[in-house]
Amino acid sequence: MMSERIQISAQVPAEMDGDRLDQVAARLFPDYSRSRLQGWIKKGELLVDGGQLRPRDKVEEGMELAIDTEPEEVVGWKAQDIALDILHEDEHIIVLNKPAGLVVHPGAGHAEGTLVNALLAHAPEMAQLPRGGIVHRLDMETSGIMVAAKSILAHGDLVAQLQERTVKREYSAVCIGVMTGGGTVNEPIGRHPKQRKKMAVLAAGGKPAITHYRVAKRFGHHTSIAVNLETGRTHQIRVHMAHRHYPLVGDPTYGGRPRIPKGASEELVQALRGFPRQALHARALGLFHPETGEEVNFDCPLPEDMKGLLATLEREDPVVAGDDTLY
């Protein structure tokens, strides 16, 4: 039964002052389609400061957008018996370790065999939730920890936490090049102007994106880093690290061909050329439990492929003073 209502709200930030209501709603509530949001606006189920506006009406900084409506059951997605690595589960949330290669959400080219298909088989009640309970994503070839909502209460609360940037997300990555230290990348990200399947740092028109990183281990020609996200843009870590000229090992979209150190052993050559994906793993997640408000933290160990890559770099790409030549 769908007894819980969708009840979520958000304030218009300064950068959206003067924009159309439907456009602002789409950015503040990204888990709902624009057509659905427009329908709620027209039916008076999405109000602005308690009053009803038209989709094309302009909104101002500080106004509150509030949704109060009945959930709609998701149709057309097949429940499939796909193994899940569950780290935690209760009435409201499920925390999982997503393997590399698993698509999170059904879409073009991936109608079946996704994490959502697996979740619908494991917990059929999640079919009542927007996007099958998914509140954030990992790229198909990124492994690691994710949280999904199992109740309307949890869905609205988790979406709000992500918007308010109170969810803590830490990643482990291996980059090409030797970093001198950590730092922060604060550069907007948007769709690449010419290559529409890629994202890029944009001088104008991108969405705010902030990535913090620190050095975990330096090798001769590579660096293992820990990354914390303030925002969650598509391909954010991959785009920001490539922008800093430290692309991720194995990233076919933003990294290009692997750079092999001069005189590298065959083992190192094979490890770098044969690494099957971007070397990126979501290692830790911290949030406030939607029901209790208690801060909860979860960890997810490195997968075997990244452990193997780091072990090879430790043996075959040690730091050698004065040797930083690549070919």
Active site residues: 139
The one-letter amino acid at 210: I
Q: Percent helix, strand and coil across the chain, each rounded to 5?
A: 25, 30, 45
Residue 1 structure tokens: 């039964």
Alpha carbon distance 83, 100 (integer Å): 13
Alpha helices in 138-227 (DSSP H): 152-164
- Secondary structure class of 305 (helix, strand, coil): helix
Residues 6+ apart with CB under 8 A from 209: 185, 186, 187, 188, 189, 231, 233, 236, 239, 240
Burial of 249 (0-12, 13-18, 19+ CB in 10 A): buried
Instruction: Count Cβ atoms within 10 A of the Cβ of residue 81 and give its class: 0-12 exposed, 13-18 middle, 19 or more buried.
Output: exposed
Residue 321: which residues within 8 A CB-CB, separation 6 or more?
none
